[in-house]
Structure 1
């Protein structure tokens, strides 16, 4: 029988039950879901285990087992991140789980018709295509399931995304899985050993190059820096005045709109603004040249917003600083305004991607603002916008990302997800976060400052950030690598179909 049309080799080197591999994969999925529970090694072990189960089982059983584990993985993410289970999150979870199971299905059905490099590469290019499709089509961006997130603090490895983008990590993990399975299936094969040596050598070169990139660009070389302050409002007062991130759906009820516009609520809004402006003055007098507020730090009614903006402009002018004021109009607006040292408004940016099912403001479609200043080119996104790599790919030196998180998700969101955008595009990034983990990173992803804002009271984080970006291949080429993988998947699919027909 032609070897390429035969059933996949069945665990020649071990008598391990396929169910043991499935259980091991399920255990690894708990710690490879892109959540606060992640262990980087688990993300590499997960596809190895699931491929072993899949290749050693009947097609129907393989598909059901792998899909079950992928859905468990998404469920773990929702639980670990304290995301509520509702119709929308369940539907999105089922969709993402199915997409992440698809590469295993292709390997089990189409892969048996391929051999050599085609057999090795089918799974990794399918994994990249799946991640890319989720990030481009679904309203989740790359927040759920992206393999790069599981490696979010492995900086030497992550330097590869400055060249090939965040999907490169999925490709490496996918290659490791198929080559490891080839070695398990044919431990005495010289070809399998050569593949193993080639992959380990490639991975070692990537990590070594990442280490060299970090070593030859130490923080001490950042002679051009600017002092930036990240400010969050009083936690208890802001939560008491908050309805922007409530459970209300759109369109908001008349009762909800009336509730956020009462004289009592408007008085709270003024008090919060007073505190933010006072902290802005203090930060400026401590040397900050740029002040960035956390997401919707200053709530306001639409009628009162003009007066609030006038106060921000006056403080920016009197203190001679740039102020990125984040203002929220409940059920209507989530936006930021940048004011220059002369008091002029330099940008107005509305959030493009509200959190699905959790943030009752309408999505918007506006370009990321970029403004040239004596401290480099400034740009801004708002919180969840940072989980969309294509949106974050801008030519800037410093990205301001005002955010509002919750305790279960914030550390992973800041330290493992959003920091990837800075490495990809070579800019410094500061994330003022209300109710979570605020941090600032240099263009290589190194943490320059971090502050928990979960305790009561007001929080101010001041940090010296590099004011000049570092050019990256990804910043110029965009998602070229991801598109190459999509093209590779199509080519391998055609090859497998044609080979079957010839057989």
Structure 2
């Protein structure tokens, strides 16, 4: 399980293997102690994910890991309580329905979205399988993995019965159909629209390091940067901005029509925000590009002391939107969140939309009618690559291309089927992280986009129906522990 948590050390096959073995333990373990061991296993996996991702332990993270571990134990409890009272065909559905329902509930009741607790993110590189999320959302992959685990356990328990071969066929049939249909979608309906050149630019490391050094002198209070003398902090902030404006001009001259800066690319005191935006407007007019800038505004207003914004400017210098990040990272980001309304605007290059970084871990919020989704982001070395890879699911789910420009992480661009169109790693790019991609200007409408989380609700309903049915039946379909060894005497 440690290698299937949505982290940098994930192994895709591990996500299929561990539920088989853990479900076996749940079925054979003691009814009173088994759930505690299941909870402990999931809690250990959550702690491992926090550690490998270098998120940092705090009260919110510890409480979240404990609560999520309890939720993730529920599908195993459901299987333990229901499967013995149901016919084998129905019993096989209890665990996968529980997995899908639990993954959905995690995004509803927790502040973690699909950043943790989703099996689908471990399969981001399997494009035929990934097409399933265009119908079911990420919950479909969790259901499929759970179905295989339940089916394999059913075969394991009935291996002496003549029907085990038929069970093996049924266990393989559903994944085979999903992979075949997904492969057909990739082969028969590739993106064929015109493309637009989009460039993502990040500031040079030298100016970034200097700014961090300057701001660190005022980090002892929440409003320290906001109330610092402008003459002491603004020159370093302006140096970063000038570097990004120069990079924008360079990429526009090379043919880019849309330029994206990362999250919090520019930091500014509230009194200087208007000047920062005005400089970007002037560059957008001069270069004739759509320019999205990421701005961290430092304010003296408690309790947030700041805003995290993404501002889109058109080639005429007009501000088309000012979007505020809706989902601060639990325990580490303290600014006031935005309202979660994703802006969409029509342009000659299709419908552009925008969220910021962690917002993309919430599928319901990302389900918008757009052609290109811009996701300015800011990660760190240990978390950048897996966090960017998870964003590919949102592109496939909603049928748009997705451009994620990441400061101090891995930037990537995906088409609406999850193909990687371009990528750039801040830590291996020689100090100047620039990503250029030709992005399809027309997306597609997916079934998931139309019906939303209906599949997750079907799984919740199915689990309730199986519970009601099992409550009316005695414990009849007992699992067979396997062949008994004859005694030496032959009795």
TM value normalised by structure 2: 0.91
Q: How does 1:276-355 map to 2 (within 5 A)?
A: 276-330=244-298, 331-355=305-329
Displacement of 1:204 in angstroms is 1.0
What is the alpha-carbon distance in structure 2 between the residues aligned to residue 192 and residue 204 of structure 1? 18
Q: Retained in 2: the 8 A contact 1:431–1:440?
A: yes
Q: Retained in 1: the 8 A contact 2:281–2:317?
A: yes
Matched, 1:480 2:454: yes
- Which residue of 107, 112, 131 corresponds with 1:159? 131
- String of CA shifts for 1:172-194, please: whole Å, max 9, x gaps: 01010111001111113344433
1:368 aligned counterpart, secondary structure: coil
2:296 aligned counterpart, secondary structure: strand
What is the alpha-carbon distance in structure 1 between the residues aligned to residue 263 and residue 309 of structure 2? 8
Matched, 1:447 2:420: yes
What is aligned with 1:147?
Answer: 119
Q: Retained in 2: the 8 A contact 1:404–1:435?
A: yes
Displacement of 1:231 in angstroms is 1.0
1:208 aligned counterpart, secondary structure: helix
Q: How does 1:101-500 map to 2 (within 5 A)?
A: 101-218=73-190, 222-242=192-212, 253-255=222-224, 257-259=226-228, 262-330=230-298, 331-415=305-389, 417-454=390-427, 457-500=431-474
Count of paired positions: 469
2:33 aligned counterpart, secondary structure: helix
Displacement of 1:252 in angstroms is 5.8
Q: Retained in 2: the 8 A contact 1:179–1:192?
A: no
Q: Retained in 2: the 8 A contact 1:368–1:391?
A: yes
Displacement of 1:265 in angstroms is 1.6
Which range moved further: 401-410 or 454-463?
454-463
What is aligned with 1:22?
Answer: none
Q: Return 5+ residue gaps in structure 1 as ranges.
A: 1-28
Q: Retained in 2: the 8 A contact 1:120–1:175?
A: yes
Q: CA RMSD in A?
A: 2.3
2:98 aligned counterpart, secondary structure: helix
Q: Retained in 1: the 8 A contact 2:193–2:442?
A: no
Residues 35 and 186 of structure 1: CA distance in aligned 2, closer, same or farther (over 3 Å):
same
- String of CA shifts for 1:61-92, please: whole Å, max 9, x gaps: 21122111111111111111111111111000
1:264 aligned counterpart, secondary structure: helix
Displacement of 1:242 in angstroms is 4.7
Matched, 1:55 2:23: no
